[in-house]
Amino acid sequence: MFAIALLMVSARGSAQVVQQTKQGLKFSAQKLDIQIEFYSNNIIRIFKTPAGIPYTKKSLSVVKTAQPTVVTFSKKGKNSLVKSSEVQVEVNPETGGIIFYDSSGNLLLKDKDYGTQFSLVEDAGTNLYKVRNGFLLDKKEAIYGIGQVLDNKFNRRNSSHHMQNENMSTYSPYFQSIKGYAVFWDNYSISEFKDNPQELSFEGLGHCSDYYFMYGKHADGVISQVRDLTGKAPMLPLWAYGFFQSKERYHTQDESLSVLKKYRELKVPLDVVIQDWRYWPEYNKSDSAWNSQLFDAERFPDPKKWVNEIHQLNAKLLIVTWPGFGPKTEQRKEFDSKKMIINFDTWPPNSGARPYDVFNPEALDIYWRYLNKGIFSYIGNDGWWLDSTEPDHINIKKTDFNLPTYLGSYGSVKNAYSLMHNKGIATHQRAVNDNKRGVILTRSGFIGQQRYGSNTWSGDVGSTWDMLEKQIPAALNYTLMGIPNWNSDIGGFFAGRWKDGGGNKNPEFQELYVRWMQFGTFSPMMRSHGTDLPREIWNFGDRGTWCFDAQEKFINLRYKLLPYIYSTSWDVSHNDGTFMRPLMMDFAKDAKTHEIGNEYLFGRSILVAPVTKYKAKTWPVYLPEGSNWYNFWTNEYLQGGQVAITETPIDIVPLFVKSGSIIPFGPKVQYSTEKRWDNLEIRVYPGTDGEFVLYEDENDNYNYEKGKYSTITFKWDDRLKTLHIQAREGNFSGMLTTRKFNINVINPNQKLKDKHVNPTKEISYNGKKIELKF
């Protein structure tokens, strides 16, 4: 189909042949067969196998196929060079070394000379390889990613990680560089990541070394390439950005209903209640019917009525399901009969529960068939809590990792377990009901999982101040892998340490819970959950006490920000944006931001610096150079490039707004869709030009994918002090045709000491362009 040119070069006294293919190169070196293929101008696949042993790889993560890409070929001394419009790749046919440059010839990354090794091993009775690939980075080059690692570090240089997905540890073999590129080593085995002054390396089990080099020029560009390669992130429904309440566990349908009713009586906003484990019949204490996906007739006598009542109270229900099944369940019997069980002990202990083989497509079908019949199509729940998606592994035996799965030994595919389990639920649900957006809360993840609308939480973390502190850089590194949805148990899961000191009324635990809730307010999902102590707001005191009032303040703030958050969700889905943005994403030129993992932008405008110490009266906040900043609470105007010492009484978390920002604020509500957005405050923060796109749609279906949505673009011209509200674009069923905007241009010269510093202009808007001079 196309000409193959043969380039002959001398290497160690023998002829080395580099073949030009349509979009790359093929050559052999160091007993390896190596293929380089441009998937686009920015994405290059490097595929290596032992010489003469071809292997066809079908990726679990990658959905992109190579697109027609114009490349050119040339020589660079003894080496061969292939270029697209964005990236140049140089190969050394003698050593197997590969060097990546940008289009201007600036060095990005080196795949080491002699840096790839294959060592033959026996794995589950078959031949496999221990595969290792080494890279060379600049000495001071900061990198991020690797996964959710609870070690309180942000920059991943000079670190080592045993990449084995377990409760509280979620890894993917991926790193992103401050230089604007990323590497995804497409391997699902239990692996090793090491970075030291000599090299960075990945090592794991496989038939090949298969990685993708992605160049985006900056962090946003990298994430765009990751999503192009492994899948876009769909929008979640509006209600998924409200407040979630759960605990381990609500024992009856009446208990969870009473919780929802009390929130409504107190007029504290709430959108979602979650039903945790053991709603199924418990035949005996051994949990032999674990995860039967059926409701206990005594405790849940009418589950359809239960869900209907939740919906009548304008709330939603997430319900838990696990990947393991007790021996007395019908699911387990069918999986056993078809050899679709991975035969190791999973949670709960001594129950005989075993996980199913998620790597078998038929097993995914069977799992959904029971789940749909027993729950989804039966009661009409609104989403899923997929617990233990690593999955839990107890009474571990070394031989467990050699157990067979549909795709090979368990150890060779383990880290993709959550990816495949989430895939099974998400794709089957959409096939059954295309009018309800999928919402999945899951305890693990892997690159590619973003395409299923999954929101990973950090696992069963302890209720401590140091664990709260560790959540922030862990979340930021996780989202830098291109997976935008992340959250944590507000207050931490295990709170037993506080029981003897007064429990929910212990002042330190109350303060920890409030500070964690402030962090949760500015996370993609705001969810209260835990064991040992109940977490519903009234358990901390009555309205009028500091702990109740501080919680209520931030729950209300979350709902006021819903227009901003939902528009950010559109930015995430449509523009490959990111909810939790480390400072290095927007201020890479400020070298100080390269190491800061305890602050971030929530969306593109609001800088958040969670308080993570007990009795902190003030908190240092670094304001990046490249912008000026407004204190959200006082409107004080500060220059970037400095540390601001910020007062932090218990009901204040440091928040700063980037100059040039435009932020919409919604009405006070009890749930996300209680009131229409027909009277929004539009707050403008001068200092530089700015733009914001207000997004609206039908809130909970996939019609937005068919173009059923609207956008209104606000542009601030700082020199002319003029706000341009552009003509509305698009439409959808039930769209507002007229509305009010209350425009509030913040005065940068005065602190907010009285209500008249920043008077608003109220305008009517009917979809046509408006220009406002200030």
Question: Model confidence over 658-708: pLDDT tens digits?
Answer: 999 999 999 999 999 999 999 999 999 999 999 999 999 999 999 999 999
Contact 168, 150 (CB under 8 A): yes
**Which tokens is 143 given?**
């990198």
Amino acid of residue 177: S
- pLDDT band with cut points at 50, 70 and 90 for residue 754: low
Residues 58 and 194 in one domain: yes
Q: What is the pLDDT of residues 522-543, one digit of tens each?
A: 999 999 999 999 999 999 999 9
Same domain flag for 697 and 630: no
pLDDT in tens, 603-642: 999 999 999 999 999 999 999 999 999 999 999 999 999 9
Helix (H, G, I), strand (E, B) or coil at 320: strand
In this structure, the answer to whether residues 540 and 615 fall within a common structural domain is no
Q: What is the band of 760 on the pLDDT scale with cuts at 50, 70, 90?
A: confident
Note whether residue 643 is domain-resident.
Answer: yes
Could you count the other beta carbons within 10 Å of the beta carbon of residue 125? 8
Is there a contact between 204 and 666 (Cβ–Cβ < 8 Å)?
no
- CA–CA distances in Å: residue 7 to residues 18, 52, 90, 740: 5, 20, 14, 68
Name the token pair of 88.
Answer: 């140049």
Q: Which residue reads 């939480």 in tokens?
A: 457
Query: Domain count of the chain?
Result: 4
The pLDDT assigned to 759 comes to: 73
The answer to whether position 482 is within a domain reads yes
C-alpha 8/C-alpha 15 separation (Å) is 7
Residue 6: is its pLDDT beyond 50? no
Average pLDDT of the chain to the nearest whole number: 95
Please identify which residue in the block is written with the tokens 């519903």: 536
The count of other CB atoms within 10 Å of the CB of residue 127 is 10
pLDDT at 15 (0 to 100): 44
Structural domain contains residue 568: no
The CATH number linked to 587 is 2.60.40.1180
- In Å, how far are 175, 276, 626, 701 from 436, measured between CA atoms? 34, 22, 42, 5
Same domain, 378 and 434: yes
- The one-letter amino acid code at 334 reads E
Tell me if residue 542 is catalytic. Answer: no
Residue 527: asked if its preceding bond is cis (omega within 30°), the reply is no
Residues 302-311 have pLDDT tens digits of 999 999 999 9
Could you give the CA distance from residue 2 to residue 8 in angstroms, rounded to a whole number? 19
Does any domain span residue 157? yes
Domain assignment present for residue 576? The answer is no
Give the Cα separation of 680 and 625 in Å (integer). 31
Give the end of a domain, one of 631, 657, 683.
Answer: 657
Residues 429, 722: Cα–Cα separation, whole Å: 47
Boundary-marking domain end, from 600, 622, 657: 657
Nearest CA to 687 out of 725, 637, 758 is that of 637
Taking the CB of residue 357, how many other CB atoms lie within 10 A of it? Answer: 26
Give the tens place of pLDDT for each residue, 437-495.
999 999 999 999 999 999 999 999 999 999 999 999 999 999 999 999 999 999 999 99
User: What is d(CA 136, CA 35) in angstroms, rounded to the nearest whole number?
Assistant: 20
- The strand pairing partners of 715, in sequence order, are 691, 724
Angle at 13 between CA 8 and CA 18, to 5 degrees: 25
How far apart, in whole angstroms, are the C-alpha atoms of residue 424 and residue 438? Answer: 12
CA distances from 128 to 23, 54, 185, 206, 299 (A): 29, 13, 17, 6, 50
Question: Within this chain, do residues 361 and 421 fall inside the same structural domain, yes or no?
Answer: yes
pLDDT value at position 287? 84
| Predicted pLDDT at 758 | 67
Which CATH number fits the domain that encloses residue 478? 3.20.20.80
148 found inside a domain? yes
Q: Which helix (H) or strand (E) holds 368?
A: helix 361-371
Element (H, E) at 426: helix 417-432
**Model confidence pLDDT, tens digit, residues 49-62:** 999 999 999 999 99
611 and 641 share one domain: yes
Catalytic pick among 111, 387, 392, 536: 387
According to DSSP, the β-strands at 354-355 and 383-386 are unpaired
Does a structural domain hold residue 570? no
- Structural domain range at position 668: 662-773
In a 3-state reduction of DSSP, which class is residue 546?
A: helix
648 and 751 co-located in one domain? no
- Decide if 287 is catalytic: no
- Could you confirm whether 387 is annotated as catalytic? yes
Q: Which member of 460, 549, 698, 717 is catalytic?
A: 460
Distance between CA 319 and CA 300 in Å, rounded? 13
Give the whole-angstrom CA distance, residue 521 versus residue 643. Answer: 23
Cα(first)–Cα(last) distance of the chain, in Å? Answer: 64
Torsion sign, CA atoms 236, 239, 241, 243: negative
Residue 716, sorted as left (phi over 0), alpha (psi -120 to 50) or beta, turns out to be beta
- Say if residue 601 is in the same domain as residue 524: no
**Overall pTM surpassing 0.85 (yes/no):** yes
**In this structure, what is the dihedral angle of CA atoms 609, 614, 615, 617, given to the nearest 10 degrees?**
-20
Active-site residue (options: 33, 86, 276, 390): 390
What is the predicted pLDDT for the residue at 285?
66
| Spatial distance between the Cα atoms of 455 and 172, rounded to a whole number of angstroms | 16
- Tell the residue number behind the tokens 């590194």, with chain if given: 477
Residue 283 in this model has a pLDDT that exceeds 90? no
Do 532 and 604 have their domain in common?
Answer: no
* Boundary residue ending a domain (230, 253, 285): 230
What single-letter DSSP state applies at residue 241?
Answer: G
Instruction: Tell whether 586 and 644 lie within a shared domain.
Output: yes
Helices (H) and strands (E) in the chain, counts: 13, 47
CATH number of the domain bearing residue 213: 2.60.40.1760
Spatial contact of 308 and 388, defined as CB atoms under 8 Å apart: no
333 in the same domain as 471: yes
Residue-level length of the chain: 774
Structural domain includes residue 615:
yes
Retrieve residue 390's tokens: 């690593």
The answer on 275 and 220 residing in a single domain is: no
Helix axes 330-337, 361-371, angle to 10 degrees: 160
Cβ-based burial of 708 (10 A; exposed 0-12, middle 13-18, buried ≥19): middle
Please state, for a pLDDT cut of 70, what percent of the chain lies above it. Answer: 96
Q: Tens digit of pLDDT for each residue in 365-422?
A: 999 999 999 999 999 999 999 999 999 999 999 999 999 999 999 999 999 999 999 9
- 199-256 pLDDT, tens per residue? 999 999 999 999 999 999 999 999 999 999 999 999 999 999 999 999 999 999 999 9
Cβ atoms of 399 and 430 closer than 8 Å? no
User: Tell me, what's the pLDDT at 125?
Assistant: 85
Backbone angles phi, psi at 511, to 5 degrees: -65, -40
Pairing of strands 454-457, 486-487: parallel
